[in-house]
Structure 1
Amino acid sequence: MPELGTSSDIVFMFLFFFMVTSQLRSTEVKVRVRLPEATEVAKLERKDLASYIYIGSPTAQYQSQYGTEARIQLNDSFKTTNDIRDFIAAERDAMSEADRQLMQVSIKADEDARMGIVTDVKQELRRCSALKIMYAARKTEEK
């Protein structure tokens, strides 16, 4: 009887382990977000510490319900600035105690969104002590 290699069993055990333990974070973006350009950009080191706030006009399928004015999206639903405090509290609760101090909020705002709504979001983040804020941007193309 030929011997069977155990390496394939080990590979499948690792594959199964990582499939079970990994968490895929997928949020359906319901607003149009064309990121503004920036000359200096830096990548997030740990995306698991970032919570995302999307700001932009609703996509075509949601415009009949929500209009074309810029809206705030937290997770998978449209919210107002009043809901940001609960959103940040829920995001912090989902993190380990050690990671809560490292939490960052990434604002992905459309380049055409009014600065007033971005300022309102920033003010509410300040009120709930979420002070590590990043703005998502795309790198300016070299010419």
Structure 2
Amino acid sequence: MSKFKKKGDGDLPAISTASLPDIVFMLLFFFMVVTVMRDNSLKIANELPFADQVEKLDKKELVMYVYAGKPSERYQKQYGTEARIQLNDKFASVNDIRKFVLEERRSRREELQNKLITALKVDKETNMGLVSDIKQELRKIDALKVNYTARDGEVKMNQ
């Protein structure tokens, strides 16, 4: 007779799933923190022009964007090929800029309302007449802080 007894059939012990909820919540929290939500989906062609004297804006929360350019290929059948204005996720006319700016002001805290900057993201192929109309409408509602968004580079590259 032997002093040592054989164990059963040698099955592996069951894996503990007690820490699984902790891991799931940790991953959920990680993705919530690092994920950036997209503000707008562009419906226009928006190839920005080059500029040699570019400065970065410090406070992005004070910026409201007005896009201008030809509708992208996906929207050309519906809206044509002439340059259009896009506010948030919708095509708009020059007359809609007033309502847009006033809504943006109302959505901000009172002390930030006078510090809002209107950033014009205008495609380099867009007619300056449309840009002038946008600027005139902004003047009417006293939105005088205007920023032209451009890419850093030589101006010669705009041709």
Under a length normalisation based on structure 1, what TM-score does the superposition of the two structures give?
A: 0.83
Aligned to 2:11: none
- In the TM superposition, 1:126-137 aligns within 5 A as 126-137=139-150
Name the larger-Rg structure.
2
Deviates more, 1:24-33 or 1:79-88: 24-33
Q: 1:99 aligns with which of 100, 112, 117?
A: 112
> Is 2:61 the counterpart of 1:51?
no
Once the two structures are superposed, the pairs formed by residues 86-125 of structure 1 within 5 Å of their partners are: 86-125=99-138
| Rounded Cα–Cα distance in structure 2 between residues aligned with 1:23 and 1:65 | 30
1:34 to 13, 38, 47: 47
CA distance in 2, matches of 1:105, 1:50: 6
> What is the percentage of aligned positions where both structures have the same residue?
46
Aligned twin of 1:60: 73
Following TM superposition, where does structure 1 have runs of at least 4 consecutive aligned residues deviating by more than 2 angstroms?
Answer: 22-25
How many residues are paired up?
130
Cα separation, 1, equivalents of 2:79 and 2:40: 19
RMSD, matched Cα: 2.4
Please list every run of 5 or more consecutive structure 1 residues that lacks an aligned counterpart in the other structure: 1-7
2:86 equivalent to 1:73 = yes
Residues 41 and 105 of structure 1: CA distance in aligned 2, closer, same or farther (over 3 Å)? same
TM-score normalised by L of structure 2: 0.75
Query: Which runs of no fewer than 5 residues in structure 2 stay unpaired?
Result: 1-21, 155-159
Q: Secondary structure at the match of 1:55?
A: strand
Q: Distance in 2 between matches of 1:99 and 1:105?
A: 13
Task: Return the alpha-carbon distance in structure 2 between the equivalents of residues 53 and 94 of structure 1.
Answer: 17
